[in-house]
Amino acid sequence: MKVGTDAVLLGAWVDVKGAHRILDIGTGCGIVSLLLAQRTPESTIIEAIEPEAAAVAEAIENVKQSPWPGKVLIRQTTLQNFTPAHPYDLIVSNPPFFSGSQLPPAAYRERARHTTSLTHLELQQHSERLLAKGGTLAVVLPTHEGNRFMAIAVEKGWFVSARLAFFARASKPQERWVLELKRQAATCREQRLVLYQDGEQWTDDYRALMGDFYLKA
């Protein structure tokens, strides 16, 4: 699975203030965890879980090659079977999102992109189990799936505390939601971000968000 805009958006945008212990659910190659490692103090502990052995091996190698080999811990496990000793201040996930479309032939791509192994309700339920009081769950999803995710969350007692509407171009429909949710009542912080202004030229806002992570920025 290639590094995509979704993961980088989540890792660059989510609020990490006060997050001393972070969990990355479905880390894949480890990109979100590494972005968060770059943005947080050395004392912050980042744990990342991933059920696929090949992805775990790749994430471990990427962490070893990074400047933060002692800060990010990769574990091979499913969220449903994960029972840590401590709760988390922040949980992040670039979760599976397809729920009714044709499945791809590769089993790994099916599990990574389709909600056959982790439904959005399960993600919310287990995040509630693993979050510290006042903690935050942050996810990135396509617009339609993000709307469904928010509807399920609100029905189950979550509050959307921040959300970023992401557009590839200002003239095109919205492509992604990046969301922060809490169990406590919160006023939602609304933001909008456009990737391209002319041709393949990044907007100033996108460049400002990604400046610390891309060589081209």
Q: pLDDT, tens digit, for every residue of 23-79?
A: 999 999 999 999 999 999 999 999 999 999 999 999 999 999 999 999 999 999 999
Q: Is residue 215 part of a domain?
A: no
Report which of 88, 111, 70 is spatially closest to residue 24, judged by C-alpha positions: 88
List, for residues 122-154, the tens digit of each pLDDT value. Answer: 999 999 999 999 999 999 999 999 999 999 999
Residue 77, domain member (yes or no): yes
Q: pLDDT at position 167, please? A: 98
SS3 state of residue 17 = coil
158 with 202: CB under 8 angstroms? Answer: no
In the Cβ-directed half-sphere of 60, how many Cα atoms lie within 13 Å?
Answer: 11
Domain of residue 9: give its range. Answer: 5-210
What CATH number is attached to the domain comprising 138? 3.40.50.150
The answer to the question of residue 127 being in a domain is: yes
> Is 51 contained in some domain?
yes
Higher pLDDT, 9 or 100: 9
Classify 187 as helix, strand or coil: coil
In the chain, how many domains are there? 1
Question: pLDDT band at residue 163, thresholds of 50, 70 and 90?
Answer: very high
Prediction pTM value: 0.90
Confidence of residue 203 (pLDDT cuts 50, 70, 90): very high
Cα dist. 43→19, 21, 60, 91, 206 in Å?
A: 10, 9, 20, 17, 28
Those residues with Cβ within 8 angstroms of residue 212's Cβ, 6 or more apart along the chain or in another chain: 12, 38, 39
Within-domain flag for 169? yes
Residue 68, in any domain of the structure: yes
Closest CA to 139 of 11, 47, 3, 2: 11
Instruction: Decide if 43 is inside a domain.
Output: yes
